[in-house]
Structure 1
Amino acid sequence: MLSTLGAATAAALLLAGPASPTTPARYGDDPPTGKITITVATVNGSGCRPGSAAVAIAPDNTAFTVTYSEYLAQAGGGSRPTDARKNCQIALSVHVPQGFTYAVARADYRGYASLAKGATGLEQAGYYFQGQSETARRSHTFTGPYETNWQTSDETDVDALVYAPCGEERYFNINTELRVDAKSADPAATSFMAMDSTDGSINTVYHFAWKQCPARR
């Protein structure tokens, strides 16, 4: 957490009333029943020092979650100019059962924002497989006064889904950014936007679309 907010205060706000997760739809083929493993290969950025991001697989193999513990942007009050924009770039090593490939059909981002009147907050994200072009970054803006949990969802049309190449293991890269602009707000007020959690209750959810690979001859 940034020092001007304080970990205890931010944790209390995030736990005050997290948004209810959206019931996921089923995308593509049925998910494989075999074991899937996802590990964080590398993590870089001002919003996620090494060791501050964790990943977990849903029990039914329909999705995975990424949880951050120090991801917060803030402006106003005693904030530093560099506090206003935070970003995180994660490379995930994904191992799926043989004969299957996957795409990400939808991503749900969640957090908490406290924005003074006149302040704005922005969340944007994109993702891609190693060696391929990044998806178009999608942005969501919040305007103060705002004092509650936030949630955004980016969904890809079925015809536009990009699947991992069959039989190849490539990193799945996620780029996210949080930004706060408090220039039009009370200069004494601190505004912030967070996408982190000290206990794992706030996370981002990436929903898989599964497809069976063609049989090799």
Structure 2
Amino acid sequence: MVLRALAAAGVATSLFGWSASGAGAATPRPPDRIVVDSVAANGTGCPQGTAAVAVSPDGSAFSVTYSNYLAQVGPGSAPADSRKNCQLDLAVHVPGGLTYAIVSTQYNGFASLAPGASGTQRASYHLQGNAATSKTHNFAGGFTGDWQTTDTVPVAALVFAPCGQESNLDINTELQVDPGTSSPGATSFLGMDSTNGTVKTVYHVALKKCQ
């Protein structure tokens, strides 16, 4: 449905390329692709070396994989453990004459919330030169299992990066757990995590011609 609406509005789903920053010769930028030149991750939910970015084979999305992103309350937990966050700063190169916008985001994880506890997942992104956009999802206690949330931006509300300039994309995610009325001896947690220690957060994007 989203892709049909984008096509009707003259917006094309993007082609991605990937060029990691670092020592050595720079990877040439494909002229017809968005290229993520570099990524910096910072936050209690993504300590150094625990977040990685990859581009989908069909070029319609990029994903962020976390291996140590968990908010928790209960015995043995420190007060700071109840809230974790991760801020990603992506340097994005866009082909000449085009601009891009985030169309939808998908988050996946695992939770174990005792009766009376609650969890919250927040996400926001900020395209340089535009206001930030944010979404919040709440989880009630008495739940154990996988979770998934999807935020979709209506075509009319898409926020495109400014034309004619390199624009960084800042993505901030947050997980929070509140013990509420749960038993003092109960442990509750909410994580962007899985049994093998990784889970992907996927961001779908769209391209359009600059006017």
TM-score relative to the length of structure 2: 0.82
How many Å apart are 1:69 and its aligned residue? 1.3
Corresponding residue to 2:185 among 184, 188, 195: 188
Q: CA deviation at 1:51?
A: 2.3
Give the alignment partner of residue 162 of structure 2, picking from 162, 165, 171.
Answer: 165
Contact 2:93 2:167 in 1 (8 A): no
Matching residue of 1:48: 46
Mapped to 1, the partners of 2:136 and 2:37 lie a distance apart of 26
1:9-56 Cα shifts (integer Å, max 9, x gaps): xxxxxxxxxxxxxx9846422434834322543222111122221111
Cα distance change on mapping 1:84 and 1:30 into 2, 3 Å: closer
**Structure 1, unpaired ranges of 5+:** 1-22
Structure 1 position 109, deviation (Å):
0.8
CA offsets, 1:60-105, max 9 Å, x none? Answer: 2211111111110000122111100111111011123333211001
1:41-80 equivalences in 2 (<5 Å): 41-80=39-78
3-state secondary structure, aligned to 1:174? strand
Point out where structure 2 has 5 or more consecutive residues left out of the alignment.
17-31
Number of aligned residue pairs: 191
Equivalent residue for 1:140, pick from 137, 140, 159: 137
- Among all aligned residue pairs of Structure 1 and Structure 2, give the percentage whose two residues are the same amino acid: 50
Aligned alpha-carbon RMSD (Å): 2.2
Secondary structure of the 2:131 match is coil
Paired letter, 2:85? N
Q: 2:3 & 2:76 partners in 1: Cα distance?
A: 43
2:34 to 33, 36, 39: 36
Task: Name whichever of 47-56 and 103-112 sits farther off.
Answer: 47-56
The aligned amino acid for 1:175 is N
Which shifted more, 197-206 or 46-55?
197-206
Q: Tell me how far apart the structure 1 counterparts of residues 135 and 118 of structure 2 sit (CA, whole Å).
A: 16
Give a deviation string over 1:120-164, Cα, whole Å, max 9, x none.
0100111011232211x2111111211110011111111111111
Q: Which has a greater percent of strand?
A: 2
Which moves more between the two structures, 103-112 or 90-99?
A: 90-99
